C-alpha cells in the first residue's frame, strides 16, 4: 500500500511539475487558432491533434492542467478552513451554536448549487480577464463547498467534547478558543486532511461540470472543464480516441489523490 | 449494434426508391417545445405555428417553395381602394373536418374573432394599419369583402396566417379546413394529428390528399435524443439540424440529409448604444462611432466562421435580409470585406492608435470590451472565440462572457448593463413589415438603443421614415425601393454587425417520399399533404 501511495504521489508530482512549466513544454500558444487545421488528428506538428478552432490540444491540456491543478487545491483549502472553523466552533461549543451552524450547513447543502453558481456568475462584472474569471470560479466553489465537511468536523468535535483530555483541559480553566485551537482541531487533523484531499477532485469535477455548461473558465483560457466539452460528441470518441486525453489525465489525477490519502485518515 | 441496424435500415431504404408510394402510415417528428395553444388566432410560438400550418385552412397561402401567394380556400381575390379592401371569391362545396359546410359566414366569423381587441391576437396586429374597425361584408354564400380603416401593405400575404374557423361547428377551433385535424394531445408526450377526410385537395391523378393517415408530433427538447431517434427510425424528420449532426448523418447516409442553402436566419453582434447604460462614457463614444463599428465588422473573418464553425453550411451575411428572401433582399449589397488594414485605417481616422500591440483611443484608454452570448450555444461560443482572435490582431482585447439566457435577456432589455452582444435572429416572415419592431427607433427590439422617444441619429430618423413609407404604400416595387434603402443604411452604419446566414439543414428518412425541404418554416413538413412512405415501409409503420 505504501508503494502504491508513493507511486501515486510520484505521478502527481510529475503532472504538477509539468503543468507548472506548461508554457515551457507547450508546443504552441494555447490560444492560437490554426484555422486551416480544425479538428486535426495527431501529427508531428500537433501531437494530440487540434480542437474545433484549430488550437493545439496538447498545449491546451498542459495549460488547462496548470489552471485546474493550482486552483482546485486552493479552493479545497478554502473550503476545509471554513469547515474547520464552522464545524469546530459548533462541535466544541455545542448547544445553540451547534444548532445554528448545522442549520446553516443544512441550508447550504440543500441549496441548488448549480443555480446558485449560475446566479452568482451572472451578477459578476463582465469585463474581467479570463484568469480572474477562473480565480472567481474556484473561489466561489471553495466558499460554497464547506457545508458537508463542516458536518464531519462538527461530529468529530462533538465526540471529543466529553473526552477525558478535553474535560481535563476545561477543568484547568482552558478557554473555548484555546480549547478549539490547541486541543480539538489538532485532534481532528486527520479528518481535515481527508476532507482536503477529497475536496480537490470534487472541485476539479465541479469546475468541469460548469465548463461543460459553458459557464466555467472564460475563453480562451483552457481548463479541464472546458477541455472536457469536446467529449459531448461521444460518437467521435471511437474514431478520435485522442479526444479522451484530458479525461484520462483527470481520472489519473483524481485516482492518485484517492490513493495517497491514508486510509487511517478517513473518519470512521 | 444500433448503428449497424440503422445502416441496414438505410441500405434497405436506398434500394426502394422506385417502389410506388403508398397511402397511409404515420409520420413522426419532434416539436422542440410544448404548443402553447391550439387556437389558431392566438398563436405566438413555433410549435403552435407548425400545428396551425398542418391543420388550418387559409384563404391564401404563401407557397413556401416559390414564396408566391397562391389561392387556397379562395379561388380568386382582388385588392381595392389602394389596399384598404379585399374581395374574396371562395371555393364551393367544402366542409370542415367535422362535416359542417364552409361558407363566407365562416370567413366573417374568423375575421371578427381575430380582430376582437380583447383577444390580443398577434396575427391581428399585422392587419392593424390604423385605428378603427375592420368591416366584413358577406355578399353571397361564397363571396366576402373585408374593409380596413387604412391601406395595409402586403395585405394578401397576411392571410397566410389566418386559419378559417367554423361559425357553426360545436367544436369551434378544433374543426379545421387543413389536411389534418388535432385528434389527441398528451401534454409532455405528443400531439396526434389525423387525416381530415373532408380535405378538398387532390393530387394530379385525382387521388384525395393527404396520403398519410396521421402525424405524431412528439415533444422533445433534447436535440441529441431527437437525432438518435431519427437514426433508430423512430422519427422521420428533423428540421434545423446542427451542422455537426448534419455532417455525421451525411457520412452515414448522404440521401437522408438536405442542405437547402441560406436560411432566413442570421447571427449578428451589436454594441450597446443606450445613453443611460452603466458603461464608461469613453466606451459609449467608441460604440456610437460608425467607423469603430465598421472597423470591428471588417476585422472579422466571416469566411473562416462559415468554414470552421458551420463546416461550410453558412455564408457571410450581408444585412438584415438573407438572400433566401428572394424578393426583399438587396442584391446590390455585399458582405463587409475582411480587411484588417482598412479597419485600422478607419480606427486611426477616429483617433485610435496602435501602441505596443495595444489599441488605444484618443484619451489613452486601451480598447477592451466584453461580448456576451448565451451559454450552451456551441456555434456562438466558437464564433465569439474566433472574433476574439480576429480583434486581437488589431490590439483589441475582447472578453467573452457566456451567460444563461434569462440573465442575458435581462441585461440586453432591462438593465442594459452590457457592452456588446452576440445573438441570432430567427426570421419567420418574408415581409419587411414584420421587422418594424426592429428598425423603428421607438421599437423595443431596436436592440442597440431601444424605445427612443425621438431618433438619436439622423440615419435612424431616415430609417424610421423609410420603414413607415414602405408600410404605407401598396405597390410592391415602391416598397422594395424603400426597404432597399433601409438595408443600405444598415450596411453603412452597422448598428448590427451581421456575421453569417446559417443554412437550412434538415434530415428525412429515406423511406419518405416527396421530401423537398425549403428555407422557411416548417422546412420539411411544408408539403405534409403530399408526403408519403414507400409501400413496404408504410406497412411497417407502428
The predicted-structure confidence for B65-77, as pLDDT tens digits, reads as follows 898 999 999 999 9
The predicted-structure confidence for B217-241, as pLDDT tens digits, reads as follows 999 988 888 988 998 999 999 998 9
C-alpha cell at B173: 377551433
pLDDT of residue B75: 95
Of A35, A122, A219, the CB nearest to B407: A122
CB B524 within 8 A of CB B237: yes
Q: A28, A30, A214: best mutation site toward chain B, by most B Cβ within 10 Å?
A: A214
Measured between beta carbons, which residues in chain B are less than 8 angstroms from residue A34? none
CB A2 within 8 A of CB A10: no
Distance CA A90, CA A82 (A): 12
Of A32, A127, A214, the CB nearest to B402: A214
Q: Identify the residue whose cell numbers are 463614444.
A: B285
CB B534 within 8 A of CB B511: yes
Measured between beta carbons, which residues in chain B are less than 8 angstroms from residue A126? 370, 372, 399, 401, 417-419
Nearest alpha carbon to residue B429 among B206, B176, B161: B161
Residues from A in contact with B at Cβ < 8 Å? 31-33, 35, 38, 52-54, 118-119, 121-122, 126-130, 213-215, 218-220, 233, 235
Nearest alpha carbon to residue B518 among B328, B324, B313, B331: B324
Measured between beta carbons, which residues in chain B are less than 8 angstroms from residue A220? 385, 388-389
Residue of B nearest to A212 (CA): B376
Residue of B nearest to A131 (CA): B399
Measured between beta carbons, which residues in chain B are less than 8 angstroms from residue A128? 399
Q: Nearest 5°: CA angle at B514, between B508 and B518?
A: 65
Question: Which B residues 209-268 touch A at CB under 8 Å?
Answer: 244, 248
Chain A CB within 8 Å of residue B499 CB: no
pLDDT of residue A205: 78
- Here the ipTM equals 0.80
The three-state secondary structure class of A1 is: coil
User: How does DSSP assign B386-398, residue by residue?
Assistant: HHHHHHHTTT-EE
Per the DSSP assignment, residues forming a β-bridge with B136 are: B146
Nearest alpha carbon to residue B86 among B166, B143, B164, B160: B143
Residue of A nearest to B410 (CA): A122
**Residue B140, CA distances (Å) to A81, B90, B108, B133, B146 in order:** 86, 10, 12, 22, 14
H/E/C letters for each residue in B65-129? Answer: CCCCEEECCEEEEEEEHHHCEEEEEECCCCECCCCCECCHHHHHHHHHHHCCHHHCCHHHHHHCC
Least Cα separation, residue A237 to chain B (angstroms) = 13
Number of other CB atoms surrounding residue B482 within 10 Å: 18
Chain A CB within 8 Å of residue B358 CB: no
Interface contact flag, A214 B419, Cβ < 8 Å? no
Nearest alpha carbon to residue B236 among B4, B8, B10, B536: B10
Distance CA B178, CA B162 (A): 12
Nearest alpha carbon to residue B306 among B370, B386, B248: B386
The predicted-structure confidence for B409-438, as pLDDT tens digits, reads as follows 999 999 999 999 999 988 778 889 888 889
pLDDT of residue B338: 97
Distance CA A116, CA A7 (A): 39
The predicted-structure confidence for A73-114, as pLDDT tens digits, reads as follows 899 999 999 999 999 889 888 889 899 999 999 988 888 877
Rounded to an integer, the average pLDDT of B58-86 is 92
pLDDT of residue A212: 65
pLDDT of residue B20: 52
Interface contact flag, A129 B399, Cβ < 8 Å? yes
Interface contact flag, A219 B385, Cβ < 8 Å? yes
CB A242 within 8 A of CB A57: yes
Q: Identify the residue whose cell numbers are 501511495.
A: A5
Pairing verdict, β B353-355 and B368-374 = unpaired
Nearest alpha carbon to residue B429 among B157, B134, B91: B157
Rounded to an integer, the average pLDDT of A134-156 is 86
Nearest alpha carbon to residue B498 among B329, B290, B269, B323: B269
DSSP B174: G
Rounded to an integer, the average pLDDT of B501-513 is 93
Pairing verdict, β B257-271 and B237-238 = unpaired
Interface contact flag, B399 A122, Cβ < 8 Å? no
Measured between beta carbons, which residues in chain A are less than 8 angstroms from residue B414? none
Chain A CB within 8 Å of residue B277 CB: no
Interface contact flag, B304 A215, Cβ < 8 Å? no
Measured between beta carbons, which residues in chain B are less than 8 angstroms from residue A233? 244
Phi, psi of B26 (to 5 degrees): -120, 120
pLDDT of residue B354: 94
Phi, psi of B201 (to 5 degrees): -80, 150
- CA atoms B92, B93, B94, B99: torsion sign: positive
Based on DSSP, count helices (H) and strands (E) in chain A, helices before strands: 14, 0
The three-state secondary structure class of B165 is: coil
- Crossing angle of helices A189-212/A245-260, nearest 10°? 170
CB B202 within 8 A of CB B209: yes
Measured between beta carbons, which residues in chain B are less than 8 angstroms from residue A33? 308, 385-386, 389
Highest mean pLDDT among A137-141, A151-155, A160-164, B103-107: B103-107
Distance CA B159, CA B498 (A): 31
pLDDT of residue B3: 52
CB A265 within 8 A of CB A190: yes
Number of other CB atoms surrounding residue B153 within 10 Å: 22
Of B370, B375, B382, the CB nearest to A126: B370
Amino acid at each position: 500500500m505504501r508503494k502504491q501511495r508513493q507511486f501515486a504521489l510520484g505521478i502527481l508530482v510529475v503532472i504538477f511539475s509539468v503543468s507548472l512549466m506548461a508554457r515551457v513544454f507547450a508546443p504552441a500558444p494555447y490560444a492560437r487558432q490554426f484555422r486551416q487545421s480544425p479538428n486535426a488528428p495527431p501529427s508531428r506538428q500537433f501531437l494530440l491533434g487540434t480542437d474545433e478552432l484549430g488550437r493545439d490540444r496538447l498545449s491546451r491540456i498542459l495549460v488547462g492542467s496548470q489552471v485546474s491543478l493550482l486552483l482546485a487545491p486552493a479552493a479545497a483549502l478554502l473550503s476545509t478552513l471554513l469547515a474547520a472553523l464552522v464545524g469546530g466552533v459548533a462541535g466544541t461549543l455545542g448547544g445553540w451554536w451547534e444548532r445554528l451552524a448545522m442549520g446553516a450547513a443544512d441550508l447550504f447543502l440543500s441549496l441548488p448549487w448549480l443555480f446558485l453558481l449560475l446566479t452568482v456568475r451572472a451578477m459578476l462584472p463582465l469585463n474581467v480577464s479570463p484568469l480572474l474569471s477562473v480565480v472567481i470560479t474556484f473561489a466561489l466553489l471553495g466558499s460554497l463547498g464547506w457545508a458537508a465537511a463542516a458536518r464531519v468536523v462538527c461530529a468529530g468535535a462533538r465526540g471529543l467534547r466529553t473526552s477525558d483530555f478535553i474535560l481535563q483541559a476545561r477543568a484547568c480553566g482552558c478557554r473555548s478558543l484555546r480549547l478549539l485551537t490547541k486541543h480539538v482541531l489538532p485532534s481532528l487533523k486527520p479528518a481535515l486532511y481527508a476532507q482536503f484531499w477529497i475536496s480537490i477532485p470534487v472541485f476539479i469535477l465541479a469546475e468541469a461540470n460548469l465548463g461543460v455548461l459553458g459557464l466555467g473558465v472564460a475563453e480562451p483560457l483552457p481548463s479541464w472543464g472546458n477541455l472536457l466539452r469536446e467529449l459531448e460528441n461521444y460518437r467521435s470518441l471511437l474514431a478520435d480516441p485522442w479526444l479522451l486525453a484530458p479525461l484520462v489525465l483527470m481520472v489519473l489525477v483524481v485516482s492518485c489523490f484517492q490513493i495517497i490519502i491514508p486510509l487511517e485518515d478517513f473518519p470512521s | 449494434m444500433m448503428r449497424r441496424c440503422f445502416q441496414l435500415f438505410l441500405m434497405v431504404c436506398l434500394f426502394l426508391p422506385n417502389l410506388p408510394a403508398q397511402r397511409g402510415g404515420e409520420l413522426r417528428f419532434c416539436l422542440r417545445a410544448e404548443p402553447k395553444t391550439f387556437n389558431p388566432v392566438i398563436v405566438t410560438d413555433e410549435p403552435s405555428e407548425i400545428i396551425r400550418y398542418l391543420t388550418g385552412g387559409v384563404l391564401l397561402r404563401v407557397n413556401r417553395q416559390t414564396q408566391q401567394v397562391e389561392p387556397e380556400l379562395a379561388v380568386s381575390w382582388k385588392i381595392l381602394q389602394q389596399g384598404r379592401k379585399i374581395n374574396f371569391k371562395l371555393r364551393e362545396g367544402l366542409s370542415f373536418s367535422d362535416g359542417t359546410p364552409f361558407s363566407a359566414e365562416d370567413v366573417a366569423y374568423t375575421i371578427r374573432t381575430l380582430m376582437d381587441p380583447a383577444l390580443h391576437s398577434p396575427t391581428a396586429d399585422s392587419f392593424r394599419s390604423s385605428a378603427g374597425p375592420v368591416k366584413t361584408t358577406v355578399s353571397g354564400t361564397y363571396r366576402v369583402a373585408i374593409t380596413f380603416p387604412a391601406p395595409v401593405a402586403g395585405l394578401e400575404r397576411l392571410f397566410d396566417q389566418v386559419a378559417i374557423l367554423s361559425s357553426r361547428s360545436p367544436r369551434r377551433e378544433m374543426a379545421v379546413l387543413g389536411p389534418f385535424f388535432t385528434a389527441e394531445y398528451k401534454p409532455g408526450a405528443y400531439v396526434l394529428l389525423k387525416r381530415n377526410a373532408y380535405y378538398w385537395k387532390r393530387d394530379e391523378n385525382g387521388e384525395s390528399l393527404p396520403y398519410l393517415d396521421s402525424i405524431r408530433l412528439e415533444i422533445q427538447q433534447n436535440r441529441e435524443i431527437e437525432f438518435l431517434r431519427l437514426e433508430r427510425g423512430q422519427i422521420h424528420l428533423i428540421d434545423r439540424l446542427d451542422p455537426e449532426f448534419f455532417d455525421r448523418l451525411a457520412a452515414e447516409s448522404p440521401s437522408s440529409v438536405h442542405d437547402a442553402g441560406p436560411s432566413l436566419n442570421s447571427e449578428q453582434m451589436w454594441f450597446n448604444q443606450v445613453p443611460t447604460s452603466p458603461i464608461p462614457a469613453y466606451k459609449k463614444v467608441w460604440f456610437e462611432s460608425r467607423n469603430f463599428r465598421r472597423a470591428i465588422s471588417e476585422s472579422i473573418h466571416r469566411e473562416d466562421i462559415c468554414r470552421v464553425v458551420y463546416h461550410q453550411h453558412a455564408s457571410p451575411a450581408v444585412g438584415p435580409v438573407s438572400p433566401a428572401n428572394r424578393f426583399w433582399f438587396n442584391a446590390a449589397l455585399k458582405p463587409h470585406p475582411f480587411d484588417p488594414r482598412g479597419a485600422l485605417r478607419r480606427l486611426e481616422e477616429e483617433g485610435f492608435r496602435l501602441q505596443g500591440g495595444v489599441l488605444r483611443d484618443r484619451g489613452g484608454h486601451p480598447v477592451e470590451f466584453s461580448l456576451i452570448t448565451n451559454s450552451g450555444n456551441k456555434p456562438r461560443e466558437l464564433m465569439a472565440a474566433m472574433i476574439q482572435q480576429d480583434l486581437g490582431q488589431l490590439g483589441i482585447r475582447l472578453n467573452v462572457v457566456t451567460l444563461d439566457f434569462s440573465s442575458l435577456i435581462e441585461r440586453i432589455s432591462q438593465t442594459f448593463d452590457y457592452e456588446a452582444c452576440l445573438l441570432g435572429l430567427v426570421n419567420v416572415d418574408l415581409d419587411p413589415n414584420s421587422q418594424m419592431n426592429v428598425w423603428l427607433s421607438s421599437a423595443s427590439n431596436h436592440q442597440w438603443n431601444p424605445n427612443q422617444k425621438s431618433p438619436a441619429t439622423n440615419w435612424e430618423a431616415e430609417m424610421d421614415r423609410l420603414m413607415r413609407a414602405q408600410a404605407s404604400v401598396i405597390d410592391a416595387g415602391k416598397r422594395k425601393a424603400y426597404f432597399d434603402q433601409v438595408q443600405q443604411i444598415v450596411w453603412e452604419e452597422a448598428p448590427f454587425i451581421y456575421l453569417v446566414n446559417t443554412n437550412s439543414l434538415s434530415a428525412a428518412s429515406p423511406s419518405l417520399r416527396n421530401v423537398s425541404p425549403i428555407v422557411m418554416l416548417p422546412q420539411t413538413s411544408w408539403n405534409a399533404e403530399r408526403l408519403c412512405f414507400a409501400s413496404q415501409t408504410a406497412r411497417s409503420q407502428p
